[in-house]
Structure 1
Amino acid sequence: MNFIFELDKRNYIKRRESFDLEYKQSFQGGDNLIKYAKSLVGMANNKGGQIIFGIQDSPHTPIGISTKKWIEIDPRKIDRIIREYFSQEIEWSQQILEFDGKEFGQLAVFESENKPIICSKNKDNLLREGAIYYRYRAETKEIEFAELKNLLDKEKEKEKLMWMQHIQKIAQIGPNNVSLFDTYKGEISVGNGKILLDKSIVDKLNFIQKGKFVESEEEGLPTLRLVGDIEGLVDPSIVVESDKLYPLLAKDIKDRLNLNPHDLQCIIWKLEIKGDKRYHTEIRLGEKSNPIHKYSEALVPVINRLLKKGDFLRNCKSDYSKFQKEQQKLKKKK
């Protein structure tokens, strides 16, 4: 998640605190970690966001932080706080940013895929059991009715879309080629048979997701790892090749939509297509080889529909150009 240090003539940061941005002058331990976790959860319940450390309170000027204290903090400590006090984990990251010869801390969090995240435990006057924390403009507090209703309505709509996507995938792959993993009963349905997982494994099952910390069994959540080739579960003859799900190269999309390579690059960047399993996958022919980017047929009508909006392509190109210039500035400063 990028943060741009854009200053005015007085060297004040132009961007103000908002629903996705919070400034802290310094990084502190103790109960402050709970406050940071609360802010991250509030942002995850909204659209995601970031906390930037090393910004003077008033006025907002970049002063930097002591990286020693920042480096010494164990990310697993914050992760444990989130697991202890909230109903589910969130996808977050910690890193150091550099600007004008100074270093800054960043805690960034993505929008949660499953909302709302609920506080599961009281903590002094900091957290209340059953509360849903939500990031408003420049503050994190318990969610109000309008935002809660909107959040729940969106979750209902997302569930409908998820059902539609599952049905579309089944139609694309073919009902006979689909195997289902029931994490509730611990059953993998393969054809007319079932493979059962022991309940003791299912109860402790924790999937590894991008952005999560994987700890040892003594310190963290137990993780089921499948290593190597799995034989005998699914007939290899019914496995759908990636070329069938993602048949298009960038050149194919460019030709179909009558775009030049740069225009398509700007659009794919703007829409954050790479990494979105609905539209994109990577194929590597070797460990050291560059990835080959493949795209699904579903991406073409999406881009085509957006191109009909007169300013869409122009905005994509403009935003991508600004992004590249900022990246070049950062490289020069390093």
Structure 2
Amino acid sequence: MFPLPADFTDLVQFDPETGAVISRESKRLEFKQGFNPADFSDYTKTLATFSNSSGGVIVFGVSNKPRTMVGAKEMVDEADWVNRLRDEFDPEIPFEIREYTVGNLKLYAVGVDVSQHKPVICRKTRTKIVEKNGKKKDVTTLQEGAIYYRYAGQSRLIAFPELHTMLVERDAMNARKLMETLQVVQRIGLDNAGVIDVTDPKPSILMSPETAKGLNFIKKAELVEEKGAPAYTIVGRVDLQHVVHASRRG
């Protein structure tokens, strides 16, 4: 769902005279009348289900019965969404929030794309108090270790067929990435290739002793004195202690 459309009519179909919403909840769309802090984990679970399926968006400011635009009075800051999602799910779920103005109403949309690192897994159990028929009951909203998936207009635990398909697709994607990397190495030449680990806050350059021979690195306040030797400027925080230097002979 990235990026969310600038025009609300590109996101939701509605009657401009009555505000009646024509669009229906679906695999990629859910409506909420307003943001309720007590239901925050319900919203994050829905975003997780979108991430594990095809992406999707929650629209705040639409009543349930009848389905009509009523506007949302408030929306928490983006930082609150970031913290809540990081606290409850892993890996991280990128999202976008957009405010829309329709007439004198304000509506909010929170959208996510399909995750590139599925499955997104719940990392914390949460409950909330629900009152029904005059009785209060503690209901589990999130379950640690659970994988949630978006079905047609419904968010629930993933079933085996969808989980199996997800894992097969993940393995196929990893194999494709490996083959693409090997093709690059083959084009460059095995003796000329190295690997940069970009997941570390201080990225590491990894290469064999043979590949590192003859390479010199320019670090802050240091110069390469050997005339004519190839030199490489390191931009950013790179820990050269992880480089297999040319001085190391195999």
Q: Structure 1 CA distance, aligned partners of 2:189 and 2:105?
A: 56
Over 3 Å counting, the alpha-carbon distance change for 1:141 and 1:235 in structure 2 is farther
Identity percentage of aligned residues? 28
* CA distance 1:78–1:23, shift in 2 (3 Å): same
More strand by share: 2
1:39 equivalenced with 2:11 (yes/no): no
Gap runs ≥5 in structure 2: 128-139, 213-219, 225-229, 234-250
In structure 2, the residue matched to 1:56 is: 63
Letter in 2 for 1:15: S
- Partner residue in 2 for 1:272: none
Find the aligned partners of 1:231 and 1:48 in 2 and give their Cα distance: 50
Name the SS for the 1:135 alignment partner.
strand
Q: 1:176, 1:88 → 2: CA distance? A: 35
In structure 1, which of residues 142, 152, 155 is the aligned counterpart of residue 167 of structure 2? 152
- Match of 2:167, SS state, is helix
Judge conservation of contact 2:191–2:210 (CA < 8 Å) in 1.
Answer: no
CA displacement, residues 37-77 of structure 1 (integer Å, 9 cap, x when unaligned):
111111001111110011111222222222xx22xx23222
Counterparts of 2:177 and 2:223 in 1: how far apart (Å)?
30
Is contact 2:147–2:158 with CA below 8 Å preserved after alignment?
Answer: yes
Query: Is 1:91 the counterpart of 2:99 in the alignment?
Result: no
Q: CA-to-partner distance for each residue in 1:119-167, whole Å, 9 max, x for gaps? A: 1221121111111011111121110111111111111111111112212
For residue 157 of structure 2, the aligned residue among 136, 142, 148 is: 142
* Rounded Cα–Cα distance in structure 1 between residues aligned with 2:28 and 2:49: 9
Amino acid at match of 1:24: K
Question: Following the alignment from structure 2 to structure 1, what is the Cα–Cα distance between the partners of residues 121 and 18?
Answer: 41
Match of 2:36 in 1: 28
Change beyond 3 A, Cα 1:11–1:191: same
Counterpart of 2:119 in structure 1 is 116
The 8 Å contact of residues 52 and 106 in structure 1, kept in 2 or not, is answered as yes
- Alignment of structure 1 residues 313-324 onto 2, 5 Å: none
Which protein is bigger by CA-based radius of gyration?
2
CA RMSD of aligned residues (A): 3.0
Within 2, Cα distance between the matches of 1:194 and 1:16?
A: 59
Q: 167, 177, 180: which one pairs with 1:162?
A: 177
Note closer, same or farther for the CA distance 1:194–1:132 as it changes in structure 2 (3 Å cut): farther
CA–CA distance in 2 between the matches of 1:137 and 1:53? 19
Counterpart CA distance in 1 for 2:231 and 2:22 is: 58
d(CA) in 2 for partners of 1:136, 1:127: 17
Residue number in structure 1 paired with 2:248: none
Q: TM-score, normalised by structure 2?
A: 0.69
The reply to whether residue 131 of structure 1 matches residue 146 of structure 2 is yes
Paired amino acid for 1:59: P
| Count of aligned pairs | 197
CA contact (8 A) 1:188 1:194 kept: no
Q: Secondary structure at the match of 1:96?
A: strand
Q: 1:101 to 1:74 in 2, by over 3 A?
A: closer
Decide whether the 8 Å contact of 2:34 with 2:62 is kept in 1.
yes
Q: Identify unmatched segments of 5+ residues in structure 1.
A: 196-227, 238-334
Change (3 A) 1:98 1:231: farther
Say whether 1:75 aligns with 2:75: no
Question: Which residues in structure 2 correspond to 1:216-295 (within 5 Å)?
Answer: 235-236=231-232
Q: Tell me how far apart the structure 2 counterparts of residues 131 and 148 of structure 1 sit (CA, whole Å).
A: 12
The two structures have a TM-score, normalised by structure 1, of 0.53
Could you tell me how far apart the structure 1 residues matched to 2:179 and 2:186 are?
10
- CA 1:167/1:55 → structure 2, altered by over 3 Å: closer, same or farther? same
